[in-house]
Amino acid sequence: MDLPQSFDLKSIRVFVMVAEAGGMTSAAKQLGLTQSSVSQIIGNLEEALGSDLFDRSVRPLALTAAGTTLYERGRVMLAEAGDLYRGLRERDLRQLSSLTLAMAESIANSVGPLLVAEQRALAKRWRIWAGISPDNHAALMNHTVDAVVTTTDELDGLEGLESHAILTEPFVLVFPASYDGPSEPLEALAAMPFVRYSLRSAIGRQIEGQLNRLRLKVPIDAEFDTASSQLSAVANGMGWSLSTPLCLLQEVRQIDRLRVEPMQRGRFTRPISLVARRGDLGATPEILAAAIRDILKRRRLPELFATLPWLAELIAWPEEARPPLKSIEGRR
């Protein structure tokens, strides 16, 4: 017998949540869906069954006889499906046929090779893509990549995604090492050439937005898509700029050619997180985020802190940060 398309585990899960939450609005919040989406799912389910599941004349919603039957049997079905999924996922967690992970260039260069080496057993084939965040976000939404390590909060709150925080890093002032002038106030820098990140990139737009908020008009002689090019231009005396620790990290060999200072006025930060489509990869997104956090915290950023120790205090790690999962330890 062919079942109606709307009679599936997802719909039953939504129905059970509405029954337990006592209303569609509360259930929608818990499920990360809109109230209208929940209402439509319930309506389609009732239409498929040819029976009302809730008595809508009372508050909170009460189950009808059909609703009570579906609730009792549905909970059992969901529990069994969950056990089956977890069993298969645990068995095959190391057997993903492929894993495509898109990252901002500054992270891909600093973390990508180490991540693959340490977590190789997660997938038979790895693809690490480096690119600007807008392109990476589009690739995630159209299923071209499995997950992205993003440097913005643009994906926050989008339905169907899960996010795992990695760190929050500050923006800092960067000058050529030969520059011996003041780093503050910022207005004193406004007459100097500014080396800009391209506005095609998220970091370029973040910096431009802050300059506008501070009402700083700076002369721009050149702009670059990549941190490597941008920092090289500053090191070669083309002007000053704003950057971040992760961008500096991939050019740590050039640190002695740069003067890096914290911002005193107009401080701002950017979040680094791993985002994936909810449920597509099981525990893999959490494992990846924990592994990236560990690589940065224990292996890569200390290289930068050796020269710029004050940066360590400006990087914020998520409160939920914890040592890598045991599954990570077992794969090293």
Class of domain 9-92: mainly alpha
pLDDT (tens digit per residue) in 246-290:
999 988 888 999 999 999 888 999 999 999 998 888 889 999 999
Q: Is residue 319 scored above 50 in pLDDT?
A: yes
Architecture of domain 170-269: 3-Layer(aba) Sandwich (3.40)
Q: Is residue 11 scored above 60 in pLDDT?
A: yes
| Predicted local distance difference test score (pLDDT) of residue 88 | 60
Q: How confident is the model at residue 325 (pLDDT cuts 50, 70, 90)?
A: very low
pTM, entire model: 0.66
| Predicted local distance difference test score (pLDDT) of residue 255 | 92
Other CB atoms within 10 A of residue 274 CB: 26
pLDDT (tens digit per residue) in 195-242:
998 888 888 899 999 989 988 888 888 889 888 899 999 999 999 999
| Predicted local distance difference test score (pLDDT) of residue 183 | 82
| Predicted local distance difference test score (pLDDT) of residue 95 | 56
Class of domain 94-168+270-298+318-329: alpha beta
Q: How confident is the model at residue 144 (pLDDT cuts 50, 70, 90)?
A: very high
DSSP of 101-139, one letter per residue? Answer: EEE-HHHHHHHHHHHHHHSGGGBSSEEEEE--HHHHHHH
Distance CA 174, CA 176 (A): 7
| Predicted local distance difference test score (pLDDT) of residue 70 | 92
Residue 58: C-alpha distances to residues 23, 29, 61, 64, 69 (Å): 11, 21, 6, 11, 19
Which regions of the chain carry the CATH code 1.10.10.10?
A: 9-92
pLDDT (tens digit per residue) in 26-65:
888 888 889 999 999 999 999 998 999 998 888 888 899 9
Q: How confident is the model at residue 146 (pLDDT cuts 50, 70, 90)?
A: very high
Distance CA 129, CA 316 (A): 26
Q: Which residues neighbour 198 within 8 Å (Cβ) at sequence distance 6 or greater?
A: 132, 204, 223, 224, 225
Distance CA 272, CA 293 (A): 10
CA nearest neighbour of 136 among 77, 183, 84, 127: 127
Element (H, E) at 99: strand 99-103
Which regions of the chain carry the CATH code 3.40.190.10?
A: 94-168+270-298+318-329, 170-269
| Predicted local distance difference test score (pLDDT) of residue 59 | 80
Distance CA 252, CA 305 (A): 10
pLDDT (tens digit per residue) in 67-114:
899 999 999 988 888 877 766 655 445 558 899 999 988 889 889 999
71 and 57 in contact (C-beta within 8 Å)?
no
